[in-house]
Structure 1
Amino acid sequence: MMSEISFNVDHGYLEGLVRGFKGGILKQSDYLNLVQCETLEDLKLHLQSTDYGNFLANEPSPLTVNVIDERLREKLVIEFQHLRNHSLEPLASFLDYITYSYMIDNITLLITGTVHQRPISELIPKSHPLGSFEQMEAIHIASTPAELYNAVLVDTPLAPYFIDCISEQDLNEMNVEIIRNTLYKAYLEDFYSFCKEMGGATAEVMCEALAFEADRRAFVITINSFGTELTKDDRAKLYPRLGKLYPDGLSMLARADDYEQVRAVADYYAEYKELFEGVGINAGEKTLEDRFFEYEVRLMRNAFMQQFQYGVFYSYLKLKEQECRNIIWIAECVAQRHRAKIDSYIPIF
């Protein structure tokens, strides 16, 4: 009981706030209205009647999907930074951990852009503001992973995760993808340990969420490695060592040669077997990625069933990201007058 009392003393206001934010997530009735919009201006009008309010009020016509995407992201970042600025330890560290995944994505984006000779000034605006760090603009000077570490990442929170990536090989698309997955592996294992140490409801909610994220990455890494130069041994090194698949499922995935064998591994796990059913080369509407998103939404909704825990902050961000993907999907369909698949969003509530 004492831990619950002390939780409210330090974090009760922010937990109440994030639960209030969650109440503003779009309902099914909102999506039914959005899919009936004929133009992006109609979409803007409907969003004004939700918690998004006048977030597009200062945008000149004609409205574009890119502008909507930028403003959605901006609003989410403002909300998250408000939570972070008012948080005390250990919640502050927990929220910092959440931002590390965006840092990894930003690093990957910038290195890939540099490999393709894109100017850094063009790439920085495309990076996610939640994952920004001071040394980002120096990434273009690195030509090997060792230089990347010594010149850029050594002073960032990602430095400990990068140790396994350091080599003198040139940076190319294959190496960048390996670096990205190695960073994610180390990050997920570290975040999982941090949440486990927290104990209680936080450990219960977050360990389940991170275990799913690790399993999803293992499936995706395996499927994407088919037909590439990546060896089975190298592939196995990229799997995060946690989740329902660890260790037996991961050793089976490491030996898989094609999609059907990956699916056979999923058959051993009830929740994943269900996700793979009806998905394949001749699948209907739903892709495997969609199925994973649907499962994640269910997990994130369930996180709000428990009180006095940090999982709600992680879950809220994930649900909002899905909501942003939904709005952008509908906006793209409206803008391109391609309404056949406009209903292919992932409902949240």
Structure 2
Amino acid sequence: MAPGGMLLFNTDDGYLEAIIRGYRAGILSSADYANLCQCETLEDFRMQLTATDYGNFLQNEPSPLATTTIQEHARKKLVDEFRAISTQATEPLATFLDYLTYPYMIDNLILLITGTFKEKDISELIDKCHPLGLFDSMASLCIATTPEELYREIVVDTPLAPYFAECVSLDDLTALNIEIIRNTLYKAYLEDFYQYCQKLGGATAELMGLLLQFEADRRAINITMHSFGTSLRKNERESLYCNFGELHPEGIMRLARADDRSSVASIIEPYGTYRRLWSAAMDNPDKNLEDAFFEYEVYLAKQAFDQQFHYAIFYAYLRLKEQEIRNIGWIAECISQKNKSKLNKYIVVF
């Protein structure tokens, strides 16, 4: 970045970058995980976490502790940190941070759509939504009692309205193919976010390009793998793949025609990163492909912190903290179930 660009970045966003780097310093280390794994009970676990950046975040929770309670409080800490950043952001960082909340909104809306089909009270479902995926007009969705009403509210009065209007029709919604709807929205979101990052240029475009290309490729592979043995037709599967990524276009076209796991392995063979991830998962009985993907995502997110004056660290921090919360939940559940043989199946972040 040119000196003038650095100065402009520091003027507008340098303070928030410094804050996020401070938050990153509080991410659990390998030594912290080793200490957590020594705990015999969740009360020990609670006490051990007080020696980390989490501090006394569980001090008001009565015993016995539940794993879900620990994860909920860890997630609340992340949400509070993210909101502290986003409320101070100016453009274009403010819009970039809005994009980071859209995946949570998509998952929340899918939860509400599913609940509407099952005739559940939407106001109760909102309590189960991820806090980062809440938005001001979500309360208006509570008045919807039919798929038609819910669709109208979504396309008129939610941040995801452009994606719904472009990609999801009322007929799609009433067909109740929820996973297709979810993946269609994610595709539209990722393509839009990728283009936005490329327009920002500089290190943000470079680093977010790598992160989002990986996300697009991971989703393409997962969609393909999960489609085997289902009613999803190949042309429908192809429509869910993003139009960018390392696998695009040749690998994507071949994935669209894949019939089984062995054909997927053959298709990704020329792509060194995915060949290594596939081999790592297939050669280790204690690891699956999703674990390998999570490990690589952590690797990419950590790399984002090696450069300065860019927005990718905000995305990377969210990804690293989400992995940390999964780790905390996994270790806590193993302790709760007294199943220490699987205790070490977490992904070290730092």
- TM-score, normalization by structure 1: 0.95
Give the aligned partner of residue 347 of structure 1.
Answer: 348
Give the aligned partner of residue 233 of structure 1.
Answer: 235
Gaps of 5+ in 1: none
Mapping 1:155-170, distance limit 5 Å: 155-162=157-164, 163-169=166-172
Mapping 1:39-188, distance limit 5 Å: 39-137=41-139, 138=141, 141=144, 143-144=146-147, 147-162=149-164, 163-169=166-172, 171=174, 173=176, 175-188=177-190
Give the aligned partner of residue 190 of structure 1.
Answer: 192
Deviations 1:46-105 (A, max 9, x none): 110011011111111111111111111110000000000111110000000000111001
Give the aligned partner of residue 222 of structure 1.
Answer: 224
The answer to whether structure 1 residue 287 and structure 2 residue 288 are counterparts is yes
* Equivalent position amino acid for 1:49 in 2: A
- Rounded to whole Å, the distance in 1 between the matches of 2:305 and 2:236 is 38
* Residue 4 to residue 142, structure 1, CA distance change in 2 (3 Å): farther
- Rounded to whole Å, the distance in 1 between the matches of 2:118 and 2:279 is 38
Do the aligned residues in 2 keep the contact of 1:249 with 1:265 (CA within 8 Å)?
yes
* Residue 171 to residue 140, structure 1, CA distance change in 2 (3 Å): farther
- Rounded to whole Å, the distance in 2 between the matches of 1:35 and 1:117 is 42
The answer to whether structure 1 residue 32 and structure 2 residue 34 are counterparts is yes
Deviations 1:127-163 (A, max 9, x none): 100001244352683644x643322332222111112
- Rounded to whole Å, the distance in 1 between the matches of 2:150 and 2:258 is 33
- Rounded to whole Å, the distance in 2 between the matches of 1:169 and 1:108 is 13
Mapping 1:207-286, distance limit 5 Å: 207-280=209-282, 284-286=285-287
Partner SS for 1:126: coil
Give the root-mean-square deviation of aligned CA atoms.
1.6
Do the aligned residues in 1 keep the contact of 2:45 with 2:332 (CA within 8 Å)?
yes
Gaps of 5+ in 2: none
Percent identity, aligned pairs only? Answer: 54
- TM-score, normalization by structure 2: 0.95
- Rounded to whole Å, the distance in 1 between the matches of 2:15 and 2:173 is 49
Give the aligned partner of residue 339 of structure 2.
Answer: 338
Do the aligned residues in 1 keep the contact of 2:37 with 2:331 (CA within 8 Å)?
yes
Deviation at 1:112?
2.2
- Rounded to whole Å, the distance in 2 between the matches of 1:275 and 1:117 is 42
Deviation at 1:118?
3.7
* Equivalent position amino acid for 1:292 in 2: F
Moved more, 130-139 or 53-62: 130-139
* Residue 269 to residue 139, structure 1, CA distance change in 2 (3 Å): farther
Deviations 1:246-277 (A, max 9, x none): 11111000000111111111111000000001
- Rounded to whole Å, the distance in 2 between the matches of 1:121 and 1:339 is 39
* Residue 17 to residue 286, structure 1, CA distance change in 2 (3 Å): same
- Rounded to whole Å, the distance in 1 between the matches of 2:145 and 2:315 is 33
Partner SS for 2:44: helix
* Equivalent position amino acid for 1:26 in 2: L
Partner SS for 1:277: helix
